[in-house]
């Protein structure tokens, strides 16, 4: 069959698969593996392949690790390894392993090797709930164990994930007992809910890492009640009361009160009268079983005094009743009256006086008692707590204010004046009452009061002009004009803010821009209409919320970077300047390379452009790409682009390549009649580098005894080989010129070598060598340029002339300018007559072959 038939293609495929299987070597578990602690800093050495395989090396995936292709060392990248994120389903007893592939060795073997990610103590324990609630009865037995269901969790493994527990602030009432996998709280002392009904204890979980981390939860133990207390009457429960003989039905006589330290139903108390209470007492009084109120069941019409004894019982659940006694004294009803005569000093109308507030104590009226002269022990008094007093002077009473009156506290007072006394026979006089009304007149003594001294609100930027923001409100305790409030803004407030003087509604007349001002602070004044007016203030803070209204902005639309070729992968190329004035996610910028397949990627953490592979200037010396900056705003992300130009600068990584002669075995016949100075052949070489790295010089190298024996000369710049002198009989035969072709790269020049074989013969027939000549010189003539020198045969018109000019300049610095110029010209003319070849030493590196790489 011909080429390309299906059978041939099938065999080719099988052969390819066979070769792939030969090169694919899966490393068995344990033969090559590396262990790396998690969360290591970038550039941390994780291991080396140099112990197992020869170079070169290439790691196929470089997300978490990268490999030096020459040394085989493996380092961590900027992307830190988080064991808990990479192996979330692994148990703490298992190892976290990731499998990576690499190409190693000269033959490009593909291997797979495991990387074990070691745990570090980077996770603190945590409780699911910050509070753990327990309920325990106060009669619990000492030593009782209470199981804690809420335990702490730790994502770390090994000792880093093992937890220990202890208590803090536990008052030695509780202790902790650990019986894996349970945690129990032990009651160490007896509990009494009435003494303390709740305990708050800190439960601390600490891991066993080298630098232990801990977490706390509040353990709230609530002590529940049992019925272990009975009711008892309080000391302030009344023991005796007095009521008039003409008291009315439902009059409150007294209230008894008992307490039970228990809670809930255990503290319920029921009041009742003892069966031993007299029938008259049962007929006159009733007792509320829940409140303990004792009231009259009927009107009294008693002309004589009497005492009634009430025994009250307080009963609780499963408790014997507690008891107390209340003695009720009934006074005989009065049958005579006293009258009160009032003489007003202040202006009044129908016994109503008007008094401005804030006045100092003032006399309002003079009061006198009128009645039978047989009255004795009569007196006037004021009922209740009021800011007024009665003072007796010359048998008359002066009614005065006891302190300044306050309209805002109470606008109207009723003064109840009571006259009491007994007749000569000892009978009780019916009390006489007179009520005086005092109205308090308002004065402007209160400034407006804001319900809030500071208002805060949030408003999204780009709002509609004229929207309402909030309403401030102030009140004034005064009345009328004194309490009428109006609002205004500080005169330093921006004119875009307005406030309604009557309602306090605050609005903004323009759109707000967070990028110009994120917070506005206003001062609002509230002023009443009194004379003189009073004023107070409140502050308003307006936080302007961000909207994604700004696209990212580059510092320049066109970035230009320079980078040397052959830099390692992930080398920095340049840093981008980009900003987004928005806030939060709206200003969080992500950079990406677009419209380019170039070997570049953006490091967003540092905003640096990095290489992904090695650069070769000889293949590509310039890259053009575009950078897309995108924020994370909602609802729509905003973007902008910038142009990036990257110039790859040359390094001396290419040695000169000899084109002519085509091989070290080629030969050229030269006639003995050739004239001196004739160019007989040429060496032509190229260097793919640029600049000085591509500047080529040619040097004829020969051992010491043969340095001046060749009649041929090599021009160091052009590579032209000329006949330096007329050929003689001794020159007949083969001449092997060993020429070093080197560039002028820094810091170390690179070179190639070639043999130029010239046959001086009368016959001009073509000649050819069966094999290339062999270098027989010493090692020091063929070394690196930095270590030894090589003799160069140069054209006097180039290198020799340069040397003479340099010597002339050195001499010129020692002599006068005119004399040095004359000496320089003489020396130049004398040197041009010399035709001897001078050689300069140039360092070359020893190579295994001395011919063109062709």
Q: Give the DSSP per-residue string, 290-330.
A: TT-EEEESS----SS-EEEEEEEEEE-TTSPPEEEEEEEEE
Candidates 465, 457, 472, 474; CA nearest to 505 is 472
Query: What does the angle CA 739 – CA 745 – CA 749 come to, to the nearest 5 degrees?
Result: 45
CA 751/CA 849 separation, integer angstroms: 12
- Work out the average pLDDT over 783-811: 47
Strands of 169-213, DSSP E: 174-179, 182-187, 198-207
What tens digit of pLDDT does each residue of 149-160 get? 888 888 888 888
Give the whole-angstrom CA distance, residue 475 versus residue 318. 56
Q: What is the dihedral of CA 15, 20, 23, 27, to 10 degrees?
A: -140
Is residue 212 classed exposed, middle or buried when 0-12, 13-18 and 19+ CB atoms within 10 A define those classes? middle
Looking at residue 270, what is its pLDDT?
A: 92
Question: Nearest 5°: CA angle at 386, between 381 and 391?
Answer: 40
Least confident of 100-104, 116-120, 762-766: 762-766
Q: Identify whether the C-beta of residue 721 lies closer than 8 Å to the C-beta of residue 737.
A: yes
Q: Which residues contact 405 (CB under 8 A, 6 or more apart)?
A: 355, 357, 358, 359, 387, 413, 438, 440
Position 92 confidence tier, pLDDT thresholds 50, 70, 90? low
Question: In Å, how far are 43, 512, 554, 578, 721 from 581, measured between CA atoms?
Answer: 34, 15, 12, 10, 70
Question: Mean pLDDT of all residues in the chain?
Answer: 82
Q: Is the pLDDT of residue 829 over 80?
A: no
Average pLDDT over residues 198-214: 89
CB-based contact 105:54 (threshold 8 Å):
yes
Calculate mean pLDDT across residues 762-772: 83
Over residues 323-332, the mean pLDDT reads: 87
- What pLDDT score does 630 carry? 94
Q: pLDDT-derived band of residue 464, with 50, 70 and 90 as boundaries?
A: very high
SS3 281: helix
pTM of the full predicted structure?
Answer: 0.41
573: cis peptide before it, omega within 30°? Answer: no
Residue count of the chain, please give it. Answer: 854
Phi, psi of 730 (to 5 degrees): -70, -15
Strands 376-382 and 412-422, sheet pairing: antiparallel
Given a cut of 70, whether residue 837 has pLDDT beyond it is no
Mean pLDDT confidence for 206-223: 90
Residue 335 pLDDT level (bands cut at 50, 70, 90)? low
Work out the percent of the chain whose per-residue pLDDT is above 70: 83
Query: pLDDT tens, 340-379?
Result: 888 888 888 877 888 888 889 889 899 888 764 545 667 8
Residue 843 has pLDDT above 70, yes or no: no
pLDDT of residue 118: 87
DSSP string, 149-176: ----B----GGGG-EEEEEES-TTTEEE
**CA nearest to 826, candidates 807, 852, 802:** 807
- Burial of 179 per CB tally in 10 Å (0-12, 13-18, 19+): exposed
pLDDT in tens, 720-738: 999 988 888 888 888 888 8
Contacts of residue 271, defined as CB under 8 A and 6 or more positions apart, other chains included, come to 256, 258, 287, 288, 289, 290, 291, 292, 312, 313, 314, 315
Alpha helix ranges (H) inside 497-628? none
H or E stretch including 812?
helix 801-812
Q: Please, what's the b/e burial string for 660-669 (b: 16 or more CB within 10 A of its CB; e: otherwise)?
A: ebebbebbee
C-alpha dihedral (741, 744, 748, 753), degrees to nearest 10: 0
Q: Please, are residues 312 and 271 in contact by the beta-carbon 8 Å criterion?
A: yes
Q: What pLDDT score was predicted for residue 26?
A: 42
pLDDT exceeds cutoff 60 at 3: no
d(CA 12, CA 301): 134
Nearest CA among 547, 662, 564 for reference residue 618: 564
For residue 675, give the DSSP letter.
P
Q: How far is CA 651 from CA 311, 364, 546, 744, 750, in A?
A: 116, 112, 50, 11, 11
Pairwise CA distance, residues 846 & 291, whole Å:
118
Partnered with residue 65 across adjacent β-strands are 76
Q: What pLDDT is stored for residue 840 in this prediction?
A: 31
User: What's the rounded Cα separation, in Å, for the pair 190 and 99?
Assistant: 60
Answer yes or no: is pLDDT of 480 > 80: yes
Among 56-65, 423-432, 752-761, which stretch is predicted with the lowest mean pLDDT? 423-432
- Whole-number Å distance between alpha carbons of 175 and 60: 57
pLDDT at 818: 67
pLDDT of residue 423: 57
Are 104 and 53 in contact by the 8 Å Cβ rule? The answer is yes
Considering the chain, what percentage of its residues have pLDDT values greater than 90? 29
Euclidean distance between CA atoms 673 and 469, whole angstroms: 110
| Antiparallel, parallel or unpaired: β 293-296 and 285-287 | antiparallel
| Strand 720-723 with 679-682, pairing | antiparallel
Residues contacting 385, CB < 8 A, separation 6+: none
> Which stretch, 30-44, 521-535, 644-658, has highest mean pLDDT?
521-535
Asked if pLDDT for residue 245 goes beyond 60, the answer is yes
Contact status, residue 340 vs residue 378, Cβ threshold 8 Å: no
Nearest-CA neighbor of 382 among 357, 364, 370, 407? 364
| Whole-number Å distance between alpha carbons of 306 and 665 | 156
HSE (side-chain half, CA atoms, 13 Å) at 801: 7
pLDDT digits over 288-319, tens only? 998 889 999 998 887 778 888 999 999 988 88
Which of residues 10 and 79 earns the better pLDDT score? 79
- Return the structure tokens found at 342: 């009032």
What is each CA distance from 526 to 693, 731, 792, in whole angstroms?
83, 120, 101
| pLDDT at res. 509 | 94
Q: DSSP 3-state assignment of 776?
A: coil
- Nearest to 163, CA basis, from 203, 202, 200: 203
Backbone angles phi, psi at 828, to 5 degrees: -65, -45
d(CA 262, CA 684): 114
DSSP 333: P
pLDDT, residue 474, reads 94
User: Tokens at residue 178, please?
Assistant: 């650990």
Q: Grade residue 388 by pLDDT with cuts at 50, 70 and 90.
A: very high
**What integer pLDDT is reported at residue 720 of this predicted model?**
93
CB distance 390 to 382 below 8 Å? yes
User: What tokens appear for 522 in the block?
Assistant: 């206003």
pLDDT at residue 575 in the model: 92
Residue 800, φ and ψ in degrees, nearest 5: -65, -40
* Phi, psi angle pair for 264, to nearest 5°: 65, -140
Q: Give the mean pLDDT of 752-781.
A: 81
What is the spatial order of strands in the sheet that 339-344 belongs to? Answer: 339-344, 363-370, 396-401, 388-393
Q: State the Cα–Cα distance between residues 185 and 180, nearest whole angstrom.
A: 14
Beta bridge partners of 470: 506
Of 321 and 1, the structure prediction assigns the larger pLDDT to 321
Q: Taking 60 as the threshold, does the pLDDT of residue 841 lie above it?
A: no
The backbone region for 172, taken as left when phi is positive above 0, alpha when psi lies in -120 to 50, beta otherwise, is left
């Amino acid at each position: 069959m011909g080429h390309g038939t299906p059978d041939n293609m099938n065999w080719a495929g099988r052969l390819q698969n066979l070769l792939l299987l030969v090169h694919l070597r899966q490393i068995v578990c344990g033969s090559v593996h590396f262990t790396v602690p998690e969360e290591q800093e970038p550039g941390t050495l994780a291991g080396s392949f140099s112990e197992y395989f020869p170079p070169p090396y290439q790691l196929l995936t470089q997300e978490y690790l990268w490999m030096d292709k020459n040394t085989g060392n493996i380092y961590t990248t900027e992307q830190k390894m988080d064991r808990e994120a990479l192996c979330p389903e692994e148990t703490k007893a298992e190892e976290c392993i990731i499998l990576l592939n690499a190409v190693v060795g000269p033959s490009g073997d593909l291997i797979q090797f495991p990387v074990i990610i070691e745990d570090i103590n980077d996770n603190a324990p945590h409780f699911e709930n910050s509070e753990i609630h327990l309920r325990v009865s106060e009669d619990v037995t000492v030593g009782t164990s209470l199981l804690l269901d809420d335990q702490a969790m730790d994502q770390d493994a090994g000792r880093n994930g093992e937890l220990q527990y202890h208590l803090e602030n536990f008052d030695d009432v509780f202790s902790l007992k650990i019986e894996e996998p349970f945690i129990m709280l032990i009651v160490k002392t007896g509990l009494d809910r009435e003494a303390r009904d709740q305990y708050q204890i800190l439960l601390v979980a600490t891991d066993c890492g080298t630098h232990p981390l801990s977490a706390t939860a509040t353990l709230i133990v609530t002590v529940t009640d049992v019925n272990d207390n009975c009711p008892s009457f309080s000391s302030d429960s009344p023991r005796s009361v007095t009521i008039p003989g003409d008291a009315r039905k439902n009059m409150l006589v007294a209230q008894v009160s008992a307490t039970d330290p228990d809670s809930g139903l255990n503290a319920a108390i029921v009041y009742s009268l003892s069966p031993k209470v007299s029938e008259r007492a049962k007929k006159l009084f009733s007792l509320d079983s829940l409140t303990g109120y004792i009231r009259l069941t009927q009107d009294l019409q008693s002309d004589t005094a009497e005492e009634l004894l009430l025994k009250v019982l307080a009963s609780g659940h499963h408790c014997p009743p507690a008891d107390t006694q209340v003695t009720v004294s009934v006074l005989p009803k009065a049958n005579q009256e006293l009258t009160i005569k009032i003489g007003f000093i202040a202006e009044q109308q129908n016994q109503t006086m008007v008094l401005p507030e804030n006045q100092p104590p003032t006399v309002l009226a003079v009061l006198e008692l009128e009645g039978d002269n047989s009255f004795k022990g009569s007196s006037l008094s004021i009922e209740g707590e009021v800011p007024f007093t009665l003072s007796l002077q010359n048998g008359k009473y002066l009614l005065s204010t006891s302190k300044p009156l306050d309209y805002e506290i109470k606008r109207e007072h009723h003064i109840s004046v009571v006259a009491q006394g007994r007749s000569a026979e000892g009978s009780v006089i019916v009390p006489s009452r007179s009520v005086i009304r005092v109205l308090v007149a308002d004065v402007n003594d209160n400034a407006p009061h804001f319900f809030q001294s500071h208002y805060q609100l949030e408003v999204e930027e780009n709002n509609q002009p004229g929207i309402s923001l909030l309403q401030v409100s102030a009140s004034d305790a005064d009345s009328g004009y004194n309490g009428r409030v109006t609002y205004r803004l500080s005169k330093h407030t921006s004119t875009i803010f307005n406030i309604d003087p009557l309602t306090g509604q605050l609005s903004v007349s323009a759109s707000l821009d967070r990028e110009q001002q994120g917070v506005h602070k206003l001062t609002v004044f509230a002023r009443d209409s009194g004379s003189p007016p009073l004023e107070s203030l409140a502050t308003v803070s307006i936080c302007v919320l961000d909207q994604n209204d700004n696209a990212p902005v580059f510092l320049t639309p066109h970035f230009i970077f320079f980078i040397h070729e052959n830099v390692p992968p992930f080398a920095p190329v340049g840093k981008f300047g980009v900003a987004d004035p928005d806030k939060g996610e709206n200003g969080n910028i992500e950079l990406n390379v677009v419209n380019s397949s170039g070997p570049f990627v953006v490091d967003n953490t540092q905003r640096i452009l990095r290489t992904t592979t090695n650069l070769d200037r000889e293949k590509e010396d310039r890259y053009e790409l575009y950078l897309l900056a995108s924020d994370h705003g909602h609802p729509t992300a905003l973007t902008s682009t910038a142009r990036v130009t990257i110039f790859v600068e040359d390094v001396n990584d290419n040695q000169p390549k000899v084109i002519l002669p085509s091989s070290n075995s080629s030969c050229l016949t030269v006639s003995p009649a050739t004239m001196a100075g004739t160019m007989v052949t040429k060496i032509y070489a190229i260097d793919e580098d640029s600049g000085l790295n591509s500047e080529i010089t040619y040097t004829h190298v020969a051992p010491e005894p043969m340095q001046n024996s060749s009649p041929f000369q090599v021009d160091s710049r052009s590579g032209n080989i000329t006949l330096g002198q007329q050929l003689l009989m001794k020159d007949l035969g083969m001449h092997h010129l060993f020429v070093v072709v080197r560039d002028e790269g820094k810091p170390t020049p690179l070179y190639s070598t070639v043999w130029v074989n010239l046959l001086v013969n009368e016959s001009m027939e073509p000649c050819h060598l069966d094999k290339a000549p062999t270098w027989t010189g010493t090692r020091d003539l063929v070394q690196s340029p930095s270590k030894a020198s090589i003799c160069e045969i140069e054209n006097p018109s180039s290198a020799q002339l340069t040397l003479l000019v340099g010597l002339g300049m050195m001499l010129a610095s020692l002599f006068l300018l005119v004399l040095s110029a004359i000496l320089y010209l003489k020396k130049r003319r004398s040197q041009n007559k010399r035709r001897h070849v001078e050689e300069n030493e140039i360092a070359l590196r020893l190579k295994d072959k001395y011919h063109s790489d062709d």
